[in-house]
A = this chain, B = another copy of it.
Amino acid sequence: MAAERRIAVCDLGSNSFRLVVFTASEEEHWWRRTDEIHEPVRIGAGLAETGRLSEEGIARALATTEVFAHFCQALGITDIDAVATSAIRDATNAEDFIGRAALPVRVLSKEEEARMGYLAAVNSTTLADGAVLDLGGGSMQLVRVASRHATELQSWPLGAVRMTERFGLGEGTASKKQLKAVREHVAQQLSDAPWLPKSGQRIVGIGGTVRNLAAAVQRAIGVPEFGVQGFVIEHEPLTELVARLAALEPADRAKVPGIKFSRADLILAGAAVVEAVLDLGGFPAIEATEAGLREGVFFANHLKGDPPLFDDVRHASVLNLASQYHYDHAHTEHVARLALTLFDDLAAAGLHPGDARERELLWSACVLHDIGMSVDYDDHHKHSKYLVLNSGLPGFTQREVAIIGQAVRFHRKGMPTPGGFEKILQPGDEEILDRCALLLRLAEDLERSRDQLVRAVDVACHDGAVRLTLQADGDTRVARWAAGREGELFRRAFARELEIAA
């Protein structure tokens, strides 16, 4: 086992306290969450009225940080970063908690809190120019992003808990008048962010409210659900969701498919704030990501550079996932090399467009095709797909993840199908899938004996056929036997016969 580093990030938020353990292997280039405990402390309850943390809230917070401290001690984790946000930052009596807490608490300034959200968003999406919205229980942060750098960092007391209390959205159904008041309040508060409508067309949303809204919209519009990473919430279904939630009593809002029970009373205020921001900024949609403040704090601790960003989020996602299952690097790298060569040579021969984005999907499928072996050899193509969908592959759209997942799914046998993803695929995607699955399969066949015997392949086109000539030092019988089975799919993908020569 390579040396691993563990860090506990404690997020002492207005709504809940959460401890997340991140484990990273410098040597093997992966990181992941490895443990998590949380408690719905709601330390921000009542703050809007009194400006103070309540005695009960402080008692719950102290007991919970005590549990967190013991937990870290028991697990031998010494690297702890406990950060407090809006509620504790703003309360006049915050010291009554901080001074007695069992962990050293670092109160994030508004700008620091916004920066953590920015790091989470830009390290888990391809956002280069636009905005990041981070909606918590106490506050909302907006960050302007230009060329992947944060150029404006602001925070307002517009969190879901506060807005619910301020506008009485936690009791009874909500009237149009109440929702209008929320919109006006948000507009008034954001008047000091004149950059918002000029920031660009893209906005990425982080935090539990956005994740929960994404899940509810997925259910409402009936798309395949594999987490909310990369899901794009369009304006219209969001508006419909707000209307639907407003017509329900708070206790009934969890009956809306996708809405979590624990958020039933807060989700309407959060949804209304997000909708108002889209309107004010002129954004057609908001992109969800699974990363949040805690990942931001982890990235700030873990990544090098200023700002600490992955050079290429998509590349980093694929390698992070592959590294966690570290299955035979020499084999997968060779498969990727062979597949990309075939891709390039067949494009040069005019047999397909040779699109760069498609090439990246093929590379990703090659790198990930065998990760399901860690589940079981039998049906490992299906397990690889399960792992790909489950990871969400930050930086890729859900459509792209679906294509990678299906290419991996069909890397051994069968004719590729959209596999239930019809609703998120675009015209031409089935052809992309056929090519990705076929080239991955051919490369896997040529490397079927996993010993890199077939060094390279020469591609020649003649008389409606494509001839692959294998370069190898040794007998290529296994490779030819395996690749010889791909004629049918090759015909479907490239409308050519396939010939294999030693």
Query: Which A residues are closer than 8 A to B by beta carbons?
Result: 32-37, 39, 63-64, 66-67, 70-71, 74-75, 373-379, 383, 386-387, 390-391, 448-451, 453, 475, 477-478, 481-482
Contacts of A377 in B (CB 8 A): 32-36
Top 9 A-B pairs, shortest CB-CB distance? A74-B449, A74-B451, A67-B481, A33-B377, A70-B478, A34-B377, A70-B477, A71-B478, A67-B478
Most buried by B among A32, A66, A374, A378: A378
Contacts of A66 in B (CB 8 A): 477
Q: Are the CB atoms of B449 and A75 closer together than 8 Å?
A: yes
Q: How far is the CA of A74 from the CA of B34 in the complex (A)?
A: 37
Contacts of A34 in B (CB 8 A): 373, 377
Q: Are the CB atoms of A478 and B74 closer together than 8 Å?
A: yes
Q: Are the CB atoms of A75 and B450 closer together than 8 Å?
A: yes
How far apart are A21's CB and chain B's nearest CB, in angstroms? 8
Apart from A33-B378, A37-B448, what are 16 other A-B pairs with CB-CB below 8 Å?
Answer: A33-B377, A34-B373, A35-B377, A36-B377, A63-B481, A64-B481, A66-B477, A67-B481, A70-B477, A70-B478, A71-B448, A75-B449, A75-B450, A374-B375, A376-B387, A386-B386
Q: How far is the CA of A264 from the CA of B451 in the complex (A)?
A: 36
**Given B71, B390, B451, which contacts A75 in the complex, CB threshold below 8 Å?**
B451
12 CB-based A-B contacts, threshold 8 Å: A32-B376, A34-B377, A63-B481, A67-B477, A67-B478, A70-B477, A71-B448, A71-B449, A75-B449, A75-B451, A375-B390, A376-B387
Contact A449 to B70, CB < 8 A, known contacts A376-B391, A391-B376: yes
Residue in B closest to A452 when the chains form the complex, CB atoms: B74
Q: How far is the CA of A379 from the CA of B33 in the complex (A)?
A: 11
Residue in B closest to A387 when the chains form the complex, CB atoms: B375
How far apart are A4's CB and chain B's nearest CB, in angstroms? 13
Contacts of A373 in B (CB 8 A): 34
How far apart are A148's CB and chain B's nearest CB, in angstroms? 26
Q: How far is the CA of A379 from the CA of B228 in the complex (A)?
A: 14
Contacts of A449 in B (CB 8 A): 70-71, 74-75
Q: How far is the CA of A448 from the CA of B449 in the complex (A)?
A: 44
Q: How far is the CA of A383 from the CA of B379 in the complex (A)?
A: 16
Contacts of A63 in B (CB 8 A): 481
How far apart are A19's CB and chain B's nearest CB, in angstroms? 11
Contacts of A383 in B (CB 8 A): 390
How far apart are A112's CB and chain B's nearest CB, in angstroms? 26
Q: How far is the CA of A122 from the CA of B387 in the complex (A)?
A: 33
How far apart are A28's CB and chain B's nearest CB, in angstroms? 15
Contacts of A482 in B (CB 8 A): 37
Q: How far is the CA of A35 from the CA of B70 in the complex (A)?
A: 45
Contacts of A390 in B (CB 8 A): 375-376, 379, 383
